[in-house]
């Protein structure tokens, strides 16, 4: 499993803060980040490019749930479809249990990812409504 980081830039947080958060949580997950992508706009182009480069079994570590819940329900649905089809594990630094689940076997990572995807999907729908 290769671990990739993703963070959307907003507010007062700087890239160095987000990079440190992702790197520290990667250690909690029992790994090391292969690379980190920072999104500086709301169109999620960088995220789609990152997802296209990931292989089945890889993991995506978000700096926070907001990185995906900020998206429109249509954008999120497209991203969720790729995550599920490619069997990419998903975790978020602000949900420690999801980060810890990356240490587990494929089935545990997959189930935790599904719960996180469902949770974010509900948030994205309520934001779009």
Could you tell me the CATH number of the domain that includes residue 34?
A: 3.40.50.1390
Number of domains in the chain: 1
Instruction: Taking residues 107-128, report their average pLDDT.
Output: 79
> Cβ–Cβ contacts within 10 Å for residue 84, how many?
14
How do residues 34-62 score in pLDDT, each as one tens digit? 999 998 877 788 999 999 999 998 999 99
Model pLDDT, residue 70: 86
Instruction: Give me the residue label for tokens 């960088």.
Output: 46
Domain that holds residue 81: 3-128
What does pTM read for this prediction? Answer: 0.88
Interior angle at CA 92, CA 3 and CA 22, nearest 5 = 55
């Amino acid at each position: 499993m290769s671990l990739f980081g993703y963070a959307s830039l907003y507010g007062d947080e700087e890239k160095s803060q987000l990079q440190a958060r992702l790197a520290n949580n990667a250690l909690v997950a029992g790994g090391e980040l292969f690379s980190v992508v920072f999104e500086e706009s709301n169109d999620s182009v960088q995220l789609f490019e990152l997802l296209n480069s990931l292989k089945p079994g890889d993991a995506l570590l978000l700096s926070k749930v907001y990185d995906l819940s900020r998206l429109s329900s249509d954008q999120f649905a497209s991203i969720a479809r790729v995550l599920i089809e490619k069997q990419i594990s998903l975790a978020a630094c602000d949900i420690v249990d999801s980060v810890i689940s990356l240490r587990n076997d494929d089935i545990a990572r997959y189930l935790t990812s599904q719960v996180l995807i469902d949770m974010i999907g509900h948030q994205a729908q309520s934001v779009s409504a």
